[in-house]
Amino acid sequence: MTALRDDFRLYIDGAFVTGGASFESYDPATGQPWAVMPAATTADVNRAVEAAHRAFDAPEWANLTATQRGKLLMRLGDLVATHAQELAELETRDTGKIIRETRAQIGYVAEYYRFFGGLADKVEGSHLPVDKPDMEAWLRREPIGVVAAVVPWNSQLFLSAVKLGPALAAGCTIVLKASEEGPAPLLAFAKLVHEAGFPPGVVNIITGFGEECGRTLTAHRLVSRVAFTGGPATARHVVRNTAENLAYTTLELGGKSPVLVFADADLESAANAVVAGIFAASGQSCVAGSRLFVEESVRDKLLAILTAKARRIRIGDPQDPATEMGPLATARQLGHIEQVVAASLAAGATLVTGGQRAEGLASGNYYAPTILACAGNEVPCAAEELFGPVLSVIGFDGEADAITKANDSPFGLAAGVFTRDLTRAHRLIRKLRAGIVWVNTYRAVSPIVPFGGYGLSGLGREGGAESIRDYTRTKSVWLRTSDAPIDDPFVMR
């Protein structure tokens, strides 16, 4: 048996440490353990938060100008770009995400750090025209304090960047918890933070399990801000935890994103976007377009195009650049998808293609690209976020019916619209309950554009220029301009 890699460490107060516990991390492509990871105990979490708290007021960080903070972030972005290949290989090994996608995504993550680095000295206060002639008043924006950031295993370097970037640009310090499922790339990323020259304690990167690590972190009395990405069930625990410290909290959660295809759309283009939206990353994306609504007159035609494309997808070793779809991240997730697909078929869904483990692969968490034709949103595969390569296809008759069916979900993260009628597109943009609406495209991202959801898809927004304000608080300042003595408050005039 090959020896497990054991050089991963927690990053606390500028030092790489083993932590109080450990666990094995499994390669989703083989189902076998490949590395031993450190697990943060309560004591480790306390040390990390206390280090961040000290660093927040330490002159090495607190006395930096905003421009100097921005230059550190720019340097971090450059280091991410330089080490993108190494980070991509680690993310692929530990999560099963295909190498062609991790390379592209991590290369672009560097732009997020550069973007937020450029924003660092653009955070402005404001002068307030108060109604008192001998007073001046203004607002200062100051860093909120210690940030607890929690990210899942999927797209973790990207999801970390939209938290670390604005937090550090604003002048906060941070403890970042990587998921215990696939933490390798973030633990390796800590070396780049160290090399970039951030003072000790400003950035701390840990991993560990929910109760001892996650709960201790999000409930910690020294944490002022929580930024969480994950599922609604865990988010509810996070919200309960913050009742202890009343930390300002944002939640970026999952979705059952609808894609609406009208009869006048370019069906080939729409089909390519649908395939990218649900089968890229094996469907393990918060914005996965898992519910496809098709106008009845073109439903059969589009379904035929999609079926042919799904069956041609090359499934296999995620480290092979030719692979188009890799395994699911965990065996638990694979089992869950099998159960929901079975329940959906029992509830009346029709299997179009897939619906089983991928053929020809003896080991690993591989599931075939799956398309299910459904009568409506009540079918389990259309109602539940699966986080896998399963597409539910539902017909609609007219614009009003499409909107009603698309909005029939407690989630509201993203939506896609495919039509050549731009007046219709504008009507749908207004009426779809989603934090992102893509028109004639899908899964486009940029550091300039914020994202976030409605309903069970979360609270708050990440990315974009405004997100840096969520890591600040305002301070109201009053300055009396008169030289005359203040009147005796007990003498009535």
The helix/strand/coil state of 118 is helix
Is residue 491, in this structure, part of any structural domain at all? no
442 band by pLDDT with thresholds 50, 70 and 90: very high
- 60 shares its domain with 142: yes
Is residue 490, in this structure, part of any structural domain at all? no
Q: How far apart are CA 28 and CA 154, in angstroms?
A: 13
- 298 shares its domain with 212: no
Is residue 1, in this structure, part of any structural domain at all? no
- 339 shares its domain with 406: yes
Domain ranges, residue 393: 258-439
463 half-sphere exposure, CB direction, 13 A CA radius: 17
pLDDT digits (tens, 9 = 90+) for 32-78: 999 999 999 999 999 999 999 999 999 999 999 999 999 999 999 99
- 473 shares its domain with 392: no
**How many domains, in total, are found in the chain?**
2
Q: How far apart are CA 401 and CA 425, in angstroms?
A: 15
- 18 shares its domain with 154: yes
Is residue 161, in this structure, part of any structural domain at all? yes
CATH code of residue 217: 3.40.605.10
Among the options 252, 295, 385, 462, which is catalytic? Answer: 252
CATH code of residue 396: 3.40.309.10
Is residue 2, in this structure, part of any structural domain at all? no
- 276 shares its domain with 150: no
- 86 shares its domain with 126: yes
Is residue 433, in this structure, part of any structural domain at all? yes
Strand partners of residue 164: none
- 244 shares its domain with 264: no
The rounded Cα 305 to chain-centroid distance in angstroms is: 31
- 196 shares its domain with 263: no
Is residue 3, in this structure, part of any structural domain at all? no
- 30 shares its domain with 174: yes
Q: How far is it between the farthest Cα atoms of the chain? A: 93
Contacts of 12 (CB under 8 A, 6+ apart): 44, 47, 48, 51, 204, 206
252 given a catalytic annotation: yes
pLDDT digits (tens, 9 = 90+) for 73-108: 999 999 999 999 999 999 999 999 999 999 999 999
pTM of the model: 0.95
Pairing type for strands 472-480 and 135-143 reads: antiparallel
pLDDT digits (tens, 9 = 90+) for 266-283: 999 999 999 999 999 999
Q: How far apart are CA 78 and CA 93, in angstroms?
A: 23
- Which pLDDT value is given to residue 1? 57
- 221 shares its domain with 274: no
- 282 shares its domain with 397: yes
Is residue 482, in this structure, part of any structural domain at all? no
